[in-house]
Structure 1
Amino acid sequence: MSPIWTILFATISLLCATTMASDPDPVQDFCIPDPRYGSLKTAHLTILPCKNSSEATTDDFVFSGVKRAGNFSADTGLAAIPVNPTNFPGLNTLGMSFIRADLKVGGINPPHFHPRATEIAYVVEGSVYSGFVDSTSRVFARTVEQGEVMVYPRGLVHFQMNVGDKPATIFGSFNSQNPGSQKIPAAIFGSGIKEELLEKAFGLSPKQIGAMRRRFDPKKVK
Protein backbone atom coordinates (compact mmCIF):
# COMPACT_ATOMS: atom_id res chain seq x y z
CA MET A 1 0.00 0.00 0.00
CA SER A 2 1.40 3.40 -0.96
CA PRO A 3 2.14 5.97 1.79
CA ILE A 4 -0.67 8.27 0.67
CA TRP A 5 -3.23 5.44 0.85
CA THR A 6 -1.87 4.42 4.25
CA ILE A 7 -2.33 7.96 5.53
CA LEU A 8 -5.81 8.19 4.01
CA PHE A 9 -6.87 4.85 5.50
CA ALA A 10 -5.52 5.82 8.94
CA THR A 11 -7.32 9.18 8.79
CA ILE A 12 -10.65 7.59 7.82
CA SER A 13 -10.29 4.95 10.53
CA LEU A 14 -9.58 7.61 13.15
CA LEU A 15 -12.57 9.66 12.05
CA CYS A 16 -14.84 6.62 12.14
CA ALA A 17 -13.60 5.60 15.58
CA THR A 18 -14.15 9.12 16.88
CA THR A 19 -17.62 9.30 15.38
CA MET A 20 -18.71 5.99 16.89
CA ALA A 21 -17.14 6.59 20.29
CA SER A 22 -20.00 8.62 21.74
CA ASP A 23 -23.08 10.64 20.87
CA PRO A 24 -22.74 13.07 17.95
CA ASP A 25 -21.24 16.43 18.74
CA PRO A 26 -23.83 19.22 19.10
CA VAL A 27 -23.98 21.83 16.35
CA GLN A 28 -25.38 24.57 18.60
CA ASP A 29 -24.98 25.67 22.21
CA PHE A 30 -28.05 23.70 23.31
CA CYS A 31 -31.29 22.25 21.97
CA ILE A 32 -34.33 22.27 24.23
CA PRO A 33 -36.86 20.02 22.46
CA ASP A 34 -40.06 21.78 21.52
CA PRO A 35 -42.92 19.75 23.10
CA ARG A 36 -45.37 21.11 20.53
CA TYR A 37 -43.91 18.66 18.01
CA GLY A 38 -44.11 15.46 20.07
CA SER A 39 -43.94 13.85 23.49
CA LEU A 40 -40.55 13.98 25.18
CA LYS A 41 -41.18 10.48 26.61
CA THR A 42 -41.88 8.77 23.29
CA ALA A 43 -40.11 10.74 20.57
CA HIS A 44 -36.52 10.28 19.49
CA LEU A 45 -35.31 13.50 21.06
CA THR A 46 -32.58 14.24 18.55
CA ILE A 47 -35.16 14.59 15.76
CA LEU A 48 -37.51 16.91 17.64
CA PRO A 49 -37.17 20.55 16.59
CA CYS A 50 -35.47 22.78 19.14
CA LYS A 51 -37.27 25.64 20.81
CA ASN A 52 -36.03 29.02 19.73
CA SER A 53 -33.03 29.76 21.94
CA SER A 54 -34.66 33.03 22.99
CA GLU A 55 -37.45 30.96 24.61
CA ALA A 56 -35.04 28.95 26.79
CA THR A 57 -34.92 29.78 30.49
CA THR A 58 -32.61 28.89 33.36
CA ASP A 59 -35.19 26.36 34.53
CA ASP A 60 -34.52 24.31 31.37
CA PHE A 61 -31.01 23.65 32.72
CA VAL A 62 -31.85 22.79 36.33
CA PHE A 63 -33.28 19.45 37.52
CA SER A 64 -34.51 18.97 41.09
CA GLY A 65 -35.71 15.38 40.91
CA VAL A 66 -32.74 13.73 42.63
CA LYS A 67 -32.95 15.47 45.99
CA ARG A 68 -34.28 12.29 47.60
CA ALA A 69 -34.50 8.59 46.86
CA GLY A 70 -37.07 7.22 44.44
CA ASN A 71 -39.39 4.25 44.91
CA PHE A 72 -37.68 1.08 46.12
CA SER A 73 -38.15 -2.29 44.44
CA ALA A 74 -39.43 -4.92 46.84
CA ASP A 75 -37.34 -7.57 45.06
CA THR A 76 -33.97 -5.84 44.90
CA GLY A 77 -34.04 -3.03 47.46
CA LEU A 78 -33.01 -0.62 44.70
CA ALA A 79 -34.46 2.80 43.93
CA ALA A 80 -33.20 4.41 40.73
CA ILE A 81 -33.96 7.82 39.25
CA PRO A 82 -32.65 8.20 35.66
CA VAL A 83 -31.91 11.74 34.54
CA ASN A 84 -32.01 12.12 30.77
CA PRO A 85 -33.66 14.40 28.21
CA THR A 86 -37.08 12.83 28.78
CA ASN A 87 -37.26 14.38 32.26
CA PHE A 88 -34.46 16.97 31.94
CA PRO A 89 -34.72 18.50 28.43
CA GLY A 90 -31.64 20.67 28.95
CA LEU A 91 -29.47 17.56 28.46
CA ASN A 92 -30.69 17.04 24.91
CA THR A 93 -27.83 16.75 22.33
CA LEU A 94 -25.17 17.22 25.04
CA GLY A 95 -24.08 13.57 25.03
CA MET A 96 -24.54 12.76 28.68
CA SER A 97 -27.04 11.57 31.28
CA PHE A 98 -27.16 10.77 34.96
CA ILE A 99 -28.71 8.47 37.55
CA ARG A 100 -29.28 8.43 41.28
CA ALA A 101 -29.36 4.94 42.78
CA ASP A 102 -30.20 4.13 46.38
CA LEU A 103 -29.73 0.71 47.94
CA LYS A 104 -31.29 -0.55 51.15
CA VAL A 105 -29.05 -2.65 53.41
CA GLY A 106 -28.39 -5.82 51.41
CA GLY A 107 -30.01 -4.28 48.32
CA ILE A 108 -28.63 -5.00 44.86
CA ASN A 109 -28.43 -3.51 41.41
CA PRO A 110 -28.55 -6.79 39.41
CA PRO A 111 -26.02 -7.55 36.66
CA HIS A 112 -26.74 -5.34 33.65
CA PHE A 113 -24.96 -3.38 30.95
CA HIS A 114 -25.33 -0.17 28.96
CA PRO A 115 -24.87 -0.77 25.23
CA ARG A 116 -24.25 2.88 24.35
CA ALA A 117 -22.28 4.33 27.25
CA THR A 118 -19.48 4.05 29.76
CA GLU A 119 -20.63 4.77 33.31
CA ILE A 120 -18.72 6.35 36.17
CA ALA A 121 -20.25 5.91 39.61
CA TYR A 122 -19.56 7.97 42.75
CA VAL A 123 -20.50 6.53 46.13
CA VAL A 124 -22.14 9.41 48.02
CA GLU A 125 -22.63 7.34 51.14
CA GLY A 126 -22.36 3.74 52.22
CA SER A 127 -20.23 0.72 51.29
CA VAL A 128 -20.99 -0.93 47.97
CA TYR A 129 -19.61 -4.17 46.55
CA SER A 130 -19.20 -3.13 42.94
CA GLY A 131 -17.61 -4.47 39.80
CA PHE A 132 -17.75 -5.51 36.15
CA VAL A 133 -16.87 -8.53 34.03
CA ASP A 134 -14.69 -8.17 30.94
CA SER A 135 -14.98 -10.08 27.65
CA THR A 136 -12.71 -12.87 28.98
CA SER A 137 -15.08 -13.40 31.96
CA ARG A 138 -12.58 -11.86 34.37
CA VAL A 139 -14.29 -10.01 37.20
CA PHE A 140 -13.00 -6.70 38.55
CA ALA A 141 -14.77 -6.12 41.86
CA ARG A 142 -14.21 -4.70 45.35
CA THR A 143 -16.04 -2.82 48.05
CA VAL A 144 -16.21 0.85 47.10
CA GLU A 145 -16.53 3.20 50.04
CA GLN A 146 -18.06 6.65 50.48
CA GLY A 147 -16.16 9.22 48.41
CA GLU A 148 -14.73 6.66 45.96
CA VAL A 149 -15.44 6.34 42.25
CA MET A 150 -15.61 3.31 39.95
CA VAL A 151 -15.90 3.17 36.17
CA TYR A 152 -17.74 0.53 34.13
CA PRO A 153 -16.58 0.33 30.49
CA ARG A 154 -19.25 0.56 27.83
CA GLY A 155 -21.09 -2.66 27.07
CA LEU A 156 -19.62 -4.69 29.96
CA VAL A 157 -21.80 -6.39 32.57
CA HIS A 158 -21.60 -4.71 35.98
CA PHE A 159 -23.35 -4.88 39.34
CA GLN A 160 -23.64 -3.33 42.81
CA MET A 161 -24.64 -4.53 46.28
CA ASN A 162 -24.93 -2.64 49.54
CA VAL A 163 -22.67 -4.52 51.97
CA GLY A 164 -22.77 -1.89 54.70
CA ASP A 165 -25.03 -1.54 57.73
CA LYS A 166 -26.84 1.57 56.45
CA PRO A 167 -28.47 2.65 53.18
CA ALA A 168 -26.14 3.53 50.30
CA THR A 169 -26.47 6.23 47.66
CA ILE A 170 -24.67 6.29 44.31
CA PHE A 171 -24.59 8.96 41.62
CA GLY A 172 -23.77 7.64 38.14
CA SER A 173 -22.90 9.57 34.99
CA PHE A 174 -22.99 8.33 31.38
CA ASN A 175 -21.31 9.62 28.23
CA SER A 176 -24.55 9.28 26.26
CA GLN A 177 -27.92 10.94 26.61
CA ASN A 178 -29.49 7.53 25.97
CA PRO A 179 -27.16 4.83 27.37
CA GLY A 180 -29.74 2.06 27.38
CA SER A 181 -29.89 -0.59 30.11
CA GLN A 182 -30.12 -4.34 29.60
CA LYS A 183 -30.72 -6.27 32.83
CA ILE A 184 -29.28 -9.75 32.43
CA PRO A 185 -31.88 -11.79 34.40
CA ALA A 186 -34.81 -10.09 32.66
CA ALA A 187 -33.16 -10.30 29.24
CA ILE A 188 -32.65 -14.06 29.61
CA PHE A 189 -35.78 -15.20 31.39
CA GLY A 190 -38.25 -12.43 30.62
CA SER A 191 -37.75 -12.03 26.89
CA GLY A 192 -39.37 -15.18 25.49
CA ILE A 193 -36.22 -17.10 24.51
CA LYS A 194 -37.12 -20.68 23.63
CA GLU A 195 -37.32 -22.81 26.79
CA GLU A 196 -35.32 -25.71 25.32
CA LEU A 197 -32.37 -23.42 24.65
CA LEU A 198 -32.44 -22.07 28.22
CA GLU A 199 -32.55 -25.61 29.63
CA LYS A 200 -29.45 -26.58 27.65
CA ALA A 201 -27.60 -23.33 28.32
CA PHE A 202 -28.11 -23.28 32.10
CA GLY A 203 -28.75 -26.92 32.99
CA LEU A 204 -32.11 -26.05 34.50
CA SER A 205 -35.25 -28.16 34.48
CA PRO A 206 -38.47 -27.02 32.78
CA LYS A 207 -39.92 -26.38 36.27
CA GLN A 208 -36.97 -24.17 37.20
CA ILE A 209 -37.18 -22.30 33.89
CA GLY A 210 -40.88 -21.72 34.49
CA ALA A 211 -40.20 -20.32 37.95
CA MET A 212 -37.56 -17.95 36.59
CA ARG A 213 -39.85 -16.82 33.79
CA ARG A 214 -42.64 -16.04 36.24
CA ARG A 215 -40.22 -14.07 38.39
CA PHE A 216 -38.94 -11.97 35.48
CA ASP A 217 -42.20 -11.59 33.57
CA PRO A 218 -41.89 -8.09 32.00
CA LYS A 219 -45.51 -7.40 32.94
CA LYS A 220 -44.56 -7.74 36.61
CA VAL A 221 -40.98 -6.45 36.66
CA LYS A 222 -40.61 -2.68 36.98
Structure 2
Amino acid sequence: MSPTLTLLFVLLYHVLMVFASDPDPLQDFCIPNNHPTAALKSCMNSSLVVVNDFIFSGIKSPGDFHKTGFSSQPVNVNNFPGLNTLGMSFVRADFDKGGINVPHMHPRATETAFVLEGKIYSGFVDTQNRVFAKVIEKGEVMVFPRGLVHFQMNVGDSQATILGMFNSQNPGLVKIPNALFGSEIRDELLEKAFGMSSREVDKLKKRFSPNN
Protein backbone atom coordinates (compact mmCIF):
# COMPACT_ATOMS: atom_id res chain seq x y z
CA MET A 1 0.00 0.00 0.00
CA SER A 2 1.37 3.43 -0.94
CA PRO A 3 2.12 6.02 1.80
CA THR A 4 -0.77 8.20 0.51
CA LEU A 5 -3.29 5.38 0.72
CA THR A 6 -1.98 4.42 4.15
CA LEU A 7 -2.44 7.98 5.38
CA LEU A 8 -5.96 8.15 3.96
CA PHE A 9 -6.81 4.85 5.59
CA VAL A 10 -5.55 6.04 8.99
CA LEU A 11 -7.48 9.32 8.70
CA LEU A 12 -10.67 7.54 7.65
CA TYR A 13 -10.30 5.09 10.52
CA HIS A 14 -10.02 7.88 13.08
CA VAL A 15 -12.98 9.76 11.60
CA LEU A 16 -15.11 6.63 11.81
CA MET A 17 -14.00 6.05 15.39
CA VAL A 18 -15.07 9.58 16.33
CA PHE A 19 -18.52 9.20 14.83
CA ALA A 20 -18.91 5.70 16.27
CA SER A 21 -18.12 6.77 19.85
CA ASP A 22 -21.79 7.33 20.74
CA PRO A 23 -23.94 5.20 18.43
CA ASP A 24 -27.64 5.73 18.02
CA PRO A 25 -30.01 3.10 19.48
CA LEU A 26 -30.65 0.10 17.26
CA GLN A 27 -34.21 -0.38 18.53
CA ASP A 28 -37.12 1.77 19.71
CA PHE A 29 -36.24 1.20 23.37
CA CYS A 30 -34.34 -1.18 25.62
CA ILE A 31 -35.81 -1.83 29.05
CA PRO A 32 -33.08 -3.72 30.92
CA ASN A 33 -33.84 -7.34 31.67
CA ASN A 34 -33.40 -7.79 35.42
CA HIS A 35 -33.85 -11.54 35.44
CA PRO A 36 -30.92 -13.19 37.32
CA THR A 37 -30.04 -15.38 34.34
CA ALA A 38 -30.22 -12.59 31.77
CA ALA A 39 -27.11 -11.51 29.93
CA LEU A 40 -25.52 -8.27 31.14
CA LYS A 41 -27.40 -5.23 29.80
CA SER A 42 -29.73 -7.36 27.69
CA CYS A 43 -33.10 -5.89 26.72
CA MET A 44 -36.42 -7.18 27.94
CA ASN A 45 -38.60 -8.79 25.29
CA SER A 46 -40.54 -5.86 23.81
CA SER A 47 -43.81 -7.77 24.11
CA LEU A 48 -43.40 -7.67 27.91
CA VAL A 49 -42.84 -3.91 28.11
CA VAL A 50 -45.69 -1.82 29.55
CA VAL A 51 -46.42 1.91 29.71
CA ASN A 52 -45.28 2.16 33.34
CA ASP A 53 -41.75 1.31 32.19
CA PHE A 54 -41.67 4.81 30.67
CA ILE A 55 -43.10 6.71 33.64
CA PHE A 56 -41.20 7.87 36.74
CA SER A 57 -42.87 9.46 39.78
CA GLY A 58 -39.92 9.69 42.13
CA ILE A 59 -39.35 13.46 42.04
CA LYS A 60 -42.84 14.79 42.69
CA SER A 61 -41.70 16.12 46.06
CA PRO A 62 -38.60 18.08 47.11
CA GLY A 63 -35.64 16.22 48.52
CA ASP A 64 -34.45 16.71 52.11
CA PHE A 65 -32.51 19.95 51.81
CA HIS A 66 -33.10 21.30 55.32
CA LYS A 67 -29.85 19.91 56.80
CA THR A 68 -27.40 21.14 54.16
CA GLY A 69 -29.47 23.74 52.29
CA PHE A 70 -29.35 21.68 49.09
CA SER A 71 -30.53 18.32 47.81
CA SER A 72 -30.35 16.59 44.45
CA GLN A 73 -32.44 13.68 43.21
CA PRO A 74 -30.89 12.09 40.10
CA VAL A 75 -33.08 10.35 37.56
CA ASN A 76 -31.16 7.88 35.41
CA VAL A 77 -31.27 4.31 34.21
CA ASN A 78 -30.56 3.07 37.74
CA ASN A 79 -33.95 4.25 39.02
CA PHE A 80 -35.77 4.83 35.72
CA PRO A 81 -35.05 1.89 33.36
CA GLY A 82 -37.05 3.52 30.55
CA LEU A 83 -34.10 5.88 29.94
CA ASN A 84 -31.77 3.02 29.01
CA THR A 85 -29.91 3.59 25.67
CA LEU A 86 -31.71 6.90 25.05
CA GLY A 87 -28.71 9.11 25.83
CA MET A 88 -30.31 11.32 28.45
CA SER A 89 -30.86 11.74 32.19
CA PHE A 90 -31.87 14.51 34.56
CA VAL A 91 -31.91 15.68 38.16
CA ARG A 92 -34.20 17.61 40.49
CA ALA A 93 -32.32 20.08 42.71
CA ASP A 94 -33.94 21.82 45.67
CA PHE A 95 -32.45 24.80 47.52
CA ASP A 96 -33.26 26.28 50.90
CA LYS A 97 -32.79 30.03 51.26
CA GLY A 98 -29.09 30.69 50.71
CA GLY A 99 -28.48 27.07 49.70
CA ILE A 100 -25.74 26.32 47.16
CA ASN A 101 -24.82 23.67 44.64
CA VAL A 102 -21.03 23.70 44.97
CA PRO A 103 -18.81 24.19 41.91
CA HIS A 104 -18.83 20.94 39.99
CA MET A 105 -18.65 19.49 36.49
CA HIS A 106 -20.11 16.71 34.35
CA PRO A 107 -17.34 15.20 32.20
CA ARG A 108 -19.67 13.42 29.80
CA ALA A 109 -22.61 15.80 29.30
CA THR A 110 -23.89 19.27 28.58
CA GLU A 111 -26.57 20.34 31.06
CA THR A 112 -29.57 22.62 30.69
CA ALA A 113 -31.02 23.95 33.95
CA PHE A 114 -34.69 24.99 34.04
CA VAL A 115 -35.86 27.01 37.06
CA LEU A 116 -39.15 25.63 38.37
CA GLU A 117 -39.35 27.98 41.36
CA GLY A 118 -37.28 30.77 42.87
CA LYS A 119 -34.27 32.89 41.94
CA ILE A 120 -30.93 31.22 41.35
CA TYR A 121 -27.51 32.81 40.87
CA SER A 122 -26.23 30.44 38.20
CA GLY A 123 -23.10 30.30 36.10
CA PHE A 124 -20.05 28.54 34.73
CA VAL A 125 -16.34 29.18 34.16
CA ASP A 126 -14.76 28.64 30.75
CA THR A 127 -11.22 27.48 29.96
CA GLN A 128 -10.00 31.10 29.97
CA ASN A 129 -11.34 31.56 33.53
CA ARG A 130 -14.13 33.84 32.33
CA VAL A 131 -17.24 33.64 34.51
CA PHE A 132 -20.65 33.61 32.83
CA ALA A 133 -23.14 34.09 35.65
CA LYS A 134 -26.53 35.69 36.20
CA VAL A 135 -29.58 35.44 38.44
CA ILE A 136 -32.16 33.36 36.60
CA GLU A 137 -35.80 33.11 37.65
CA LYS A 138 -38.81 30.84 37.29
CA GLY A 139 -39.31 29.77 33.68
CA GLU A 140 -35.76 30.61 32.56
CA VAL A 141 -33.16 28.15 31.29
CA MET A 142 -29.35 28.22 31.38
CA VAL A 143 -26.96 25.86 29.62
CA PHE A 144 -23.66 24.59 31.04
CA PRO A 145 -21.30 23.33 28.31
CA ARG A 146 -19.92 19.85 28.73
CA GLY A 147 -17.01 19.52 31.13
CA LEU A 148 -17.02 23.12 32.39
CA VAL A 149 -17.21 23.96 36.09
CA HIS A 150 -20.57 25.44 37.07
CA PHE A 151 -22.48 26.40 40.22
CA GLN A 152 -25.80 27.63 41.62
CA MET A 153 -26.98 29.54 44.71
CA ASN A 154 -30.47 30.43 45.89
CA VAL A 155 -30.54 34.23 46.19
CA GLY A 156 -34.32 34.56 46.61
CA ASP A 157 -36.45 34.95 49.71
CA SER A 158 -37.97 31.47 49.44
CA GLN A 159 -37.06 27.91 48.52
CA ALA A 160 -36.03 27.23 44.92
CA THR A 161 -36.10 24.26 42.57
CA ILE A 162 -34.22 23.49 39.36
CA LEU A 163 -34.65 20.65 36.88
CA GLY A 164 -31.33 19.78 35.25
CA MET A 165 -31.31 17.81 31.99
CA PHE A 166 -28.29 16.00 30.51
CA ASN A 167 -27.56 14.74 27.01
CA SER A 168 -25.99 11.58 28.40
CA GLN A 169 -27.26 8.47 30.10
CA ASN A 170 -24.27 8.71 32.44
CA PRO A 171 -23.08 12.36 32.69
CA GLY A 172 -20.75 11.82 35.62
CA LEU A 173 -20.32 14.24 38.52
CA VAL A 174 -17.13 15.76 39.92
CA LYS A 175 -17.65 18.09 42.90
CA ILE A 176 -14.58 20.33 43.02
CA PRO A 177 -14.26 20.65 46.83
CA ASN A 178 -14.68 16.90 47.31
CA ALA A 179 -12.32 16.04 44.46
CA LEU A 180 -9.56 18.20 45.96
CA PHE A 181 -10.01 17.82 49.70
CA GLY A 182 -11.99 14.60 49.95
CA SER A 183 -9.47 12.55 47.99
CA GLU A 184 -5.98 11.17 48.72
CA ILE A 185 -4.06 14.05 47.13
CA ARG A 186 -0.97 14.70 49.25
CA ASP A 187 -1.31 17.53 51.76
CA GLU A 188 1.98 19.08 50.63
CA LEU A 189 0.68 19.59 47.10
CA LEU A 190 -2.55 21.20 48.30
CA GLU A 191 -0.63 23.48 50.66
CA LYS A 192 1.57 24.72 47.81
CA ALA A 193 -1.25 24.95 45.28
CA PHE A 194 -3.51 27.08 47.48
CA GLY A 195 -0.99 28.81 49.74
CA MET A 196 -2.56 27.20 52.78
CA SER A 197 -1.09 25.95 56.04
CA SER A 198 -1.10 22.27 56.93
CA ARG A 199 -3.70 23.06 59.60
CA GLU A 200 -6.02 24.69 57.04
CA VAL A 201 -5.66 21.78 54.62
CA ASP A 202 -6.31 19.28 57.41
CA LYS A 203 -9.46 21.17 58.40
CA LEU A 204 -10.81 21.05 54.85
CA LYS A 205 -9.89 17.38 54.45
CA LYS A 206 -11.87 16.54 57.56
CA ARG A 207 -14.84 18.54 56.27
CA PHE A 208 -14.91 16.88 52.85
CA SER A 209 -13.89 13.40 53.91
CA PRO A 210 -16.11 10.71 52.29
CA ASN A 211 -16.81 9.42 55.81
CA ASN A 212 -18.46 12.69 56.90
How does the TM-score come out when normalised to structure 2? Answer: 0.91
- Which residue does 1:33 correspond to in 2? 32
- Cα distance, 1:81 vs structure 2: 0.6
1:79–1:102 CA contact under 8 A, matched in 2? yes
Number of equivalent positions: 210
Query: Residue 105 of structure 2 aligns with which residue?
Result: 113
Paired amino acid for 1:33: P
Residue 75 of structure 2 aligns to which amino acid in structure 1? V
Q: Deviations over 1:28-78 (max 9, x none)?
A: 11111111248xxxxxxx941111111111110000011111122623x11
Q: Are 2:138 and 1:146 aligned?
A: yes
2-structure distance, mates of 1:14, 1:88? 34
SS in 1 for 2:152: strand
Percent identity among equivalent residues? Answer: 56
Q: Among residues 64, 75, 78, which one is paired with 1:86 in the alignment?
A: 78
Residues 177, 62 of structure 1: alpha-carbon distance in 2 compared, 3 angstrom cutoff: same
**Quick one: which amino acid aligns to residue 156 of structure 1?**
L
RMSD value, Cα: 2.2
Partner of residue 102, structure 1: 94
8 Å CA contact 1:24–1:95 kept in 2: the answer is no
For residues 160-203 of structure 1, the C-alpha deviation after alignment (integer angstroms, 9 at most, x for no partner) is: 00000011110011000110100000000001100000000001
SS of the equivalent of 1:35 reads coil
- The aligned counterpart of 1:41 is none
Distance 2:89 2:54 in 1: 13
Is residue 53 of structure 1 aligned with residue 52 of structure 2? no
Letter in 2 for 1:109: N
The residue number in structure 2 matching 1:210 is 202
Contact 1:132–1:156 (CA under 8 A) maintained in structure 2: yes
Structure 1 unmatched runs, 5+: 39-45
The aligned runs of 1:178-193 (5 Å cut-off) are: 178-193=170-185
Q: Distance in 2 between matches of 1:35 and 1:71?
A: 30
| CA shift digits 1:90-125 (9 cap, x unpaired) | 000000001110111100000000011000010011
1:171 matches 2:163: yes
Find out whether 1:72 has 2:65 as its counterpart: yes
Q: 2:12, 2:133 → 1: CA distance?
A: 37
Secondary structure in 2 matching 1:197: helix
> In structure 2, do the counterparts of structure 1 residues 161 and 206 end up closer, same or farther at CA, with 3 Å as the change threshold?
same
Q: Scaled by the length of structure 1, what TM-score is found? A: 0.87
> Could you tell me how far apart the structure 2 residues matched to 1:83 and 1:69 are?
13
C-alpha contact 2:121 2:134 (8 A) present in aligned 1: yes
SS of structure 2 residue aligned to 1:211: helix
Structure 1 residues 31 and 167 mapped into 2: Cα distance closer, same or farther (>3 Å)? same
**Is the Cα–Cα contact under 8 Å of residues 119 and 155 in structure 2 kept in the other structure?**
yes
8 Å contact 2:178–2:208 — kept in the other structure? yes
